[in-house]
Amino acid sequence: MKKVITYGTFDLLHWGHINLLKRAKEMGDHLTVALSTDEFNQLKNKKSYYHYQHRKTILEAIRYVDLVVPETHWEQKKQDIEKYDIDIFVMGDDWQGKFDFLSPYCEVIYLHRTKNISTSIIKKDLKKV
């Protein structure tokens, strides 16, 4: 069984998120999503519209997602790869090169983001309304 992991905040879920999760799942048999906790987002100077538990509930309802775990700090990625026996680490290509240090532990793949959609775009557009 091939296991895939990805990380993110997944706030204001949109079709770009679904597209990324679908493509990640197609790379293996099992997809784990490490979801940034509210506390970790605060450390990153990010604020989510939805609280962690609500974002987790939404992700768990998506057919491509097999497991949702909390992301609490930057350094946990190597630990997660070992703990969950991960074969492929997937991130959006806006992170290109940032996680290459994980390549001794698993395959690292950067996926193209879906064009013209992001949580940042949605938040910006909502301010115009």
* Cα-to-chain-centroid distance, residue 90: 8
Question: How many CB atoms are located within 10 Å of the residue 114 CB?
Answer: 16
How far apart CA 33 and CA 68 sit, in angstroms, is 5
Per-residue burial over 60-85, b if 16 or more Cβ lie within 10 Å, else e, is: eebebbbebbebeeeebbbebbeebe
Q: What amino acid positions are annotated as catalytic residues?
A: 44, 46
Which tokens go with 127?
A: 């301010």
